[in-house]
Structure 1
């Protein structure tokens, strides 16, 4: 028998007592039961209240039991782990609750007719109607904003990482940081002021310009971080072979970071897809189908949701349409993220077999 095995069996072994693998689960189950009991005894009816009580009991119970069985040092490690799990649940539960509520209420009217028809002459208080005009408007407005904002953002990030030196680069970085936190209504007011000076009427492309302003700083920041992750050895190896810097960026740097850049662009698209304020100011909404974003008012999904929900006080039909449009918008963002992952895998550099 080895010396390690003999040491494990001795009373003074370095390997002390440990909680069983099912220990944390038992503590969690006991905390939930205790939280429910305390909530029932105190007359608390909110699920949030008993969940918070259970979370506190879980952390305290983990420390107390682990300190008694494993010692204080190991107990502190388990408490840190329990804090991570509690934070994870606090982040996931509201998200899951939001998705569940949207699906539960949105499927009532979400069908083929709803997706392929516009509101037209249907009043908000009447049944029927659909979101085809809003889907078409959102696709065109977000698509045009992406065609404007994504190239400018990526090229700006390339300048800051690969070429930017001195005061100009610092000034660009400062303004990008400022634009990252700019409220969407400010971007809408900026474009609206230009429209008023030119005496222009609301149209879809005006909303695209405001959305592009909101999109650019997000693309710049995400692309900049992805470019910084590319090892300098790759650039130096390419330059040592006599490849020009612009070609090194095009053939080495961008292909290496294309997955992260694509993900950043998709996150920016997901952010602007749900903006309502610029669209409300600049696009104005339209119950009829308008496939020309350069002329006339146009609908969009966020604006459609706002308009229907604002009319839901006197009509359950408008309330159901608002939730169905919300579910469609969530599905749209989810599809964009799945496409981003697919493109990132497809364009990721191959490292060989």
Structure 2
């Protein structure tokens, strides 16, 4: 009788243990969820604070004068003070970013294609991939120092072409990583089907793989543009900046990040206001590029 009465004890004990473990898991789930929500709200708070500050400080000086006038020294001899525009900086940024993208994108595209299609498991491919990843995470000022030693010193001065090359070096690893990842998402059965019809490998890559991965590759290029649009450190060591509108890549060339840095440290209220406006322009431009990149990536998915 006593042996029979002891039989249900084990299931009851196991049920209690399962209930306690379930309650603990639910508690940990709620705790982690709350921590994630708190982290998200903190990030959104700081992002909203930055955007609000830029809008508050940048909009008052945002007018057509900013886009059509070069730098002008501020004078306080009368009621009307001269405000320095940002046309020279906007022009320099557009020139350097566009040229850097045109130089870095084909190189990154070809390297990413090589890693995804020809050297997936080879020792050379692994070495190139490792170097690309290191370059992707390297501080941009180191790239500026590299171009300074390679281009600026031999040329005997700062130049727009040195700034373009520094930005192009930053573009390359971003495009390499995106291209490789997008091409690796394409099923191998699609490659085999195309090559089984007698198409050479280069034609399969050009007409099938690139077409299937095009939106992802374009997204990577847009993200690379968004990154180099706000770079300051490498340009301080390469193109350096000036106060006039210039299209000469052989001489110093201004850019929006450098103009913001210089005018924010000028000590003159008018120039500081223009610096806030420049920061707003850069932020809105980078935000628009990131939104476009996310939209393309979402469309691809």
TM-score tier by shorter-chain length is 0.7 to 0.9
1:252 and 2:208 equivalent? yes
Q: CA offsets per residue over residues 201-220 of structure 1, 9 Å max, x none? A: 32211101011111211211
RMSD: 2.4
Find the aligned partners of 1:329 and 1:181 in 2 and give their Cα distance. 22
Contact 2:101 2:225 in 1 (8 A): yes
Q: Deviations over 1:294-341 (max 9, x none)?
A: 2321110000000011113xx211221111000000122123234446
CA distance in 1, matches of 2:227, 2:176: 14
| Equivalent residue runs for 1:211-290 within 5 Å | 211-290=167-246
Q: Is the alpha carbon distance of 1:86 and 1:198 closer, same or farther for their aligned partners in structure 2, counting shifts above 3 Å?
A: same
Show the counterpart of 2:257. Answer: 302
Partner of 1:122: 73
Give me the TM-score of the superposition, normalised by structure 2.
Answer: 0.84
Structure 1: give runs of 5+ residues left out of the alignment: 1-66
Cα pair distance change 1:262/1:101, threshold 3 Å = same
How does the TM-score come out when normalised to structure 1?
0.72
1:142 to 97, 106, 127: 97
Q: Tell whether the 8 Å contact from 2:152 to 2:238 is kept in structure 1 after alignment.
A: no
Check the 8 A contact 2:241/2:255 in 1, yes or no: yes
Aligned equivalent of 2:290: 337
Partner of 1:105: 57
Query: 1:124·1:317 contact (CA, 8 Å) conserved in 2?
Result: no
Partner of 1:83: 35
In the TM superposition, residue 72 of structure 1 has moved relative to its aligned partner by 4.7
Shift of 1:131: 0.6
Conservation of the 8 A alpha-carbon contact between 1:124 and 1:318: no
Q: Structure 2 CA distance, aligned partners of 1:298 and 1:197?
A: 16
In 1: Cα distance, 2:217 partner to 2:223 partner: 10
Q: Structure 1 residue 266: deviation in Å?
A: 1.0
Q: 1:310 to 1:265 in 2, by over 3 A?
A: same
- Number of residue pairs aligned between Structure 1 and Structure 2: 276
Contact 2:74 2:271 (8 Å CA) reproduced: no
1:126-174 deviations in whole A, cap 9, x for unaligned? Answer: 5412111101000000111101111111110100010015222122112
